[in-house]
């Protein structure tokens, strides 16, 4: 099965790359939450993470899922990239940065 590389904005399609980037954002947010819960359980203190960065990671995850639902036409043709791929890539990079800064060094 061949996957077209790109589709114009006039046709209904969904991008495999966008769906994958959105799924990775969800997995990163879930992993951070699980790691925080295990650290709190193990160390019995809540000051092991930065709540602002955690909130940013969760908000980016939610934005990524909402954008996937709003911009991807799942009944259409599957393509590798579309006009929204740059937006999803930017959200993914911000998600990685937020996850990297959630935990306090040391």
Q: What is the pLDDT of residues 17-59, one digit of tens each?
A: 999 999 999 999 999 999 888 888 887 666 678 889 999 999 9
Query: How many other C-beta atoms lie within 10 A of the C-beta of residue 96?
Result: 15
d(CA 84, CA 67): 9
What is the count of structural domains for the chain?
A: 1
- Helix 85-102 to helix 16-43 angle, to the nearest 10 degrees? 10
**Is the pLDDT higher at 64 or at 12?**
64
The whole-model pTM stands at 0.84
Q: How confident is the model at residue 1 (pLDDT cuts 50, 70, 90)?
A: low
Domain that holds residue 61: 13-102
Distance CA 31, CA 89 (A): 19
| 8 part of a folded domain | no
- Would you say residue 5 lies in a domain? no
Provide the β-strand partners of residue 79. Answer: 15
Q: Does 96 reside within a domain?
A: yes
């Amino acid at each position: 099965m061949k996957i077209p590389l790109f589709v114009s904005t006039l046709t209904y399609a969904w991008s495999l790359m966008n769906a994958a980037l959105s799924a990775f954002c969800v997995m990163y947010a879930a992993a951070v939450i699980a790691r925080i819960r295990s650290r709190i359980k193990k160390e019995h203190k809540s000051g092991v993470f930065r709540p602002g960065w955690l909130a940013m990671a969760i908000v980016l995850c939610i934005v990524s899922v909402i954008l996937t639902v709003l911009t991807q036409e799942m009944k259409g043709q599957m393509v590798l990239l579309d006009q929204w791929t740059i937006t999803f890539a930017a959200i993914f990079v911000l998600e990685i940065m937020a996850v990297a800064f959630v935990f306090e060094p040391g």
